[in-house]
Structure 1
């Protein structure tokens, strides 16, 4: 088949192991990869071989999870990780999360523009607010009310963009004959003062090949949608159904239109966590193994999703006929309908969990074609402009996706065969921008 529109793909890169908590114990994985930048570079190169548009590194300024049995889910530090990757890759975009709540705009502007220059125009900033009290305590602070956090986010993004443009495009003269390094008249302070943050400037960094970093957003709710609509060229989504994804995408596009922007400039990326194997049984067995230690603790939550009282003693049994009769999908969890659907197929509780029904994004289980089918259905339904792909075990999973899923998408005319540009803006089809967007007041 042939399509005028093709999907854009990003690769989730986290802790050096993969998206599943037990990936650090999987055969063939070096358990020391949490502190290995070489491993992260290797995974980035595999994603670049597959022509992914960008890497996406989430972040959390603190410690999360149960370290007794599972690794943290984030990299040691996203900017340093991407700096290492930038030197060993050539085309793939580099998107890191940076909190507007606990960073000053000058620091954000400096770090991301330096990465942008280092990578020759491949940097992106996922601008988020932080609401976790534990994270706030790491900075000796408490969490401000949501409206205040988002007001600070707006100010931080605007000041960062103004700082990016404070060194004008043609300010760097490099005139050795005349002894003129730069034109100081074209490197000027911005002198912006907000209610929460401020900066004098200028930023002493010239433009990259794409001018300045690309803004991403990942927040939900009205405040997050407004933020994405005003500034973002990419939105990292979290949706479990086509209907929810389509609604989120439409809301962001409407927000962009209200802000005076072309809604087509904002690309919405749905998450997908594929479980791939030569057969469905093989793919399921892989996830069963990865969930071996976490499954018992998840049984009670699965029960709440289905309106049942379940315990770990039933882990290797399917729901009984009487349980299936009274089981109902919880209206409070959008994943519950999928959990009930899988349960009715007769799988054991362990296998139901292995279908990813409690994961944060949909998990197509089976051959590479099953994942490709899922992505095609969502994309053609207008639920997204592409996906950010979260691999269960990076060591072998990224190559499997690149070698098995990508060719199917390409054969169907859904994904490109090669990069068509060199910068992140090129990959996203994002318009040129240097400094503040004059359309957005």
Structure 2
């Protein structure tokens, strides 16, 4: 039995699933985009599986790419998160919010309020925003990377200071003495940076975990500097064990360089499984989401392999001469997996059905395939846990909970119940209140 247990978070966005066309699945209510009862039901299913957290991404501009795609995001992650938190008791939540198009005080108030009302189960994925369309929605232009990350450091520092400005023993709540709170222990922060400032204080007491957990996503030097200083959880984008180990090592090194214990940061590798009794059934299930844009995908597959593929090639396997000439495109880390699958003799259509153009590795087949993938990566030191993106929430979460989770538990890889009540408890990171010095 393993002493260390893997962590599992789950992406939850639009009410349908991680695939842009999952809204078209037969068992999905097409109105779930605005139905928060569905989001609550999915959160409760994940909590039944003892997941550590749900992760709500965000994007500040139009995310629907074609008529047949749905947005991959909820209408507003903070509001959606509040609704789900009120209808669950243990599972944690993390939501993305931009350091570029929010002021520190707004961020501090929103996330600390959520943390208090949820009983200490909230995290903030602090991101800069580099998308011009998003900037246009704020009447702005995208600043250069150095400026965006300089602002991000200031924003996170001020937010954490505001979180600690109502000191832990300030709330007296004594009717007999007629003292609600000791104002001398609720102090302004008076922080002024080059880009942002706040006087404070923030009139919100500590939550059960002190304050929200900081999440990060990205592996650039700028992002790693932010991660090393502030983050406790990192959402990675990796496609091989070797690359995931490298990214995790970079994250841990960034923590050490910031004077922190590297074990304070947990690294999550993405996974986008499709689970069915047989591999053929799993491929056909995944294929329904691939088909609407398959003509564009087959051309991109050709680019990945250095071949001139068209829609006319969809229903045949690659010829021996093509396989001999094919090479994994070094510019796309998914290309190696695509080439490996092609060499197994699948048709071009089935290669695409394997999800080789998705954002994370895609185990396809019975539950054991996904469990084996997770065990291999975890035991290889490639991650501390996984960021799960179910293809269809309506049945995909329950399938994972009922079929994959028991396998992981039987193998001693995943816990059988929550050991604590807060997100920090679930992640195994220390209590924090105020700025991270």
Q: Is this a same-fold pair by TM over 0.5?
A: yes
Whether 2:61 is the aligned partner of 1:75: answer no
Does the 8 A contact of 2:23 with 2:29 survive in 1?
A: yes
Aligned to 2:6: 7
Aligned to 1:403: 402
Does the 8 A contact of 1:215 with 1:232 survive in 2?
A: yes
Number of aligned positions between the proteins: 437
Does the 8 A contact of 2:341 with 2:351 survive in 1?
A: yes
**How does the TM-score come out when normalised to structure 1?**
0.98
Matches within 5 A, 1:330-345: 330-345=329-344
Q: CA deviation at 1:344?
A: 1.0
Matches within 5 A, 1:39-438: 39-438=38-437
Q: CA deviation at 1:324?
A: 1.5
Runs of 5+ unmatched residues, structure 2:
none
Does the 8 A contact of 1:226 with 1:252 survive in 2?
A: no
Q: CA deviation at 1:31?
A: 0.5
Q: Which moved more, 1:312-321 or 1:169-178?
A: 312-321
Q: CA deviation at 1:321?
A: 2.4
Q: CA deviation at 1:350?
A: 1.3
Q: CA deviation at 1:220?
A: 2.1
Runs of 5+ unmatched residues, structure 1:
none
Deviations 1:294-313 (A, max 9, x none): 21221110000000011112
Q: CA deviation at 1:219?
A: 2.2
Matches within 5 A, 1:19-30: 19-30=18-29
Does the 8 A contact of 1:128 with 1:219 survive in 2?
A: no
Aligned to 1:32: 31
Q: CA deviation at 1:417?
A: 0.1
Q: CA deviation at 1:111?
A: 0.3
Q: CA deviation at 1:248?
A: 0.6
**How does the TM-score come out when normalised to structure 2?**
0.99
Q: CA deviation at 1:291?
A: 1.4
Q: CA deviation at 1:315?
A: 1.4
Q: CA deviation at 1:8?
A: 0.6
Write the distance in 2 (CA, Å) between the matches of 1:353 and 1:176. 67
Deviations 1:155-186 (A, max 9, x none): 00000000000000111111011111100000
Write the distance in 1 (CA, Å) between the matches of 2:346 and 2:274. 16
RMSD: 0.7
Deviations 1:316-353 (A, max 9, x none): 22112221221111111111010001111111111101
SS in 1 for 2:292: coil
Deviations 1:193-239 (A, max 9, x none): 01100000000101110110000100221010111111111001110
